[in-house]
A and B are shown apart, each in its own frame.
Chain A
Amino acid sequence: MGNCLKAVSSSNDDISLLREATSIPRESSSSSEQLGPPPSYQETVNQPSSLPVYYPSPNVSRPASQLTEEEQIKIAQRMGLIQHLPTGEFDGSKKNKECAICMGDFTIGDPIRFLPCMHIYHTECIDDWLMRSFTCPSCMEPVDAALLSSYQTD
């Protein structure tokens, strides 16, 4: 590993994960009324705290503006891959009765997500984790490897 000598920075913990980025400014300038150029890109310099925070790895949190290009790609891939993992509602038929992340019992109708290793979690719980690490919390199987090699969801 050799990662232990590095200082692990863990600051601002309390910002939600997937908040939407700031929207495009709507108001058109007064001089060009209808056929003017599209509104120019605005950088939101004033509110760094409102930027979404991402987790390139579980112990590293960074505002969207400070991600390296490599990290941006990683995050975008994760967001895409999560959408390919099947979801459903807990119907009581699974052996697994407890979400290993929140340690709460599943109740009938809870939204759940299935990983390729067949472990299930509350959708909300596992999505939060998958945005940080694409591994199954229970068996540590890399989720994307399983997704890409064999596309079995049943």
Chain B
Amino acid sequence: MAEPVPGISAIPDESNARYFHVVVAGPEGSPFEGGVFKLELFLPEEYPMSAPKVRFMTKIYHPNIDKLGRICLDILKDKWSPALQIRTVLLSIQALLSAPNPDDPLANDVAEQWKINEGEAIKTAREWTRLYAMSG
């Protein structure tokens, strides 16, 4: 990436230039603040005609991210555009951490909890961030 984005890094794998090791810092003011989240990003053969495959490797309590780390984000699915770049994709993921959307869930149980008792859900998200995303 030409201009680095604060809180995001993407480093290509040594043996596979299509595979990126990504680190996203939990955004300030979100329950993920202070956490460091690892993701993997893979550019398929068809890229940029089809979206990169992105997955959280660090466990995270978020209504749009399931326990396998898969992300529900429109631009990774039906709203993909070939004008989008790795940079814009990762910015969108960072924005998703700031603005969870329980009405379009991927992890149903988490989304349910988020809707029933948002305060409790945010507490759990903070707890998970401390447990899984702060180990260093």
Could you list which residues of chain A lie within 8 angstroms of chain B, going by C-beta atoms?
A: 1-5, 8, 10, 13-14, 55, 57-59, 100-103, 125, 128-129, 132, 135, 137-138, 140
Nearest Cβ on chain A to B71's Cβ, whole angstroms: 9
Question: Given the interface contacts A100-B83, A129-B82, A137-B82, does A1 sit within 8 Å of B48 by beta carbon?
Answer: no
Cβ-neighbour of A129 out of B49, B77, B85, B105 (below 8 A): B49
- A138, B78: Cβ atoms closer than 8 Å: no
- Chain B residues with CB below 8 A from A59, complex form: 50-51, 77-78, 80
- B81, A57: Cβ atoms closer than 8 Å: no
- A3, B46: Cβ atoms closer than 8 Å: no
Complexed CA–CA distance, A103 and B106 (Å): 32
- B74, A1: Cβ atoms closer than 8 Å: yes
- Chain A residues with CB below 8 A from B105, complex form: 4
Q: Mark B59-82, 1 if CB is under 8 A from A, else 0.
A: 000001000000010100111111
Complexed CA–CA distance, A102 and B48 (Å): 8
- B78, A58: Cβ atoms closer than 8 Å: yes
User: What are the 5 closest A-B residue pairs judged by CB atoms, nearest first?
Assistant: A4-B72, A137-B83, A13-B45, A100-B83, A137-B81
- B77, A128: Cβ atoms closer than 8 Å: no
- In addition to A10-B44, A58-B51, A59-B80, 7 A-B residue pairs with Cβ atoms within 8 Å of each other are A1-B74, A13-B45, A58-B49, A58-B50, A101-B82, A137-B82, A138-B83
Is B104 in contact with chain A by the CB < 8 A criterion? yes
- A135, B50: Cβ atoms closer than 8 Å: no
- Chain A residues with CB below 8 A from B46, complex form: 10, 13
Complexed CA–CA distance, A59 and B72 (Å): 14
Complexed CA–CA distance, A4 and B48 (Å): 20
Complexed CA–CA distance, A102 and B106 (Å): 32
- B78, A3: Cβ atoms closer than 8 Å: yes
- A10, B50: Cβ atoms closer than 8 Å: yes
Nearest Cβ on chain A to B88's Cβ, whole angstroms: 11
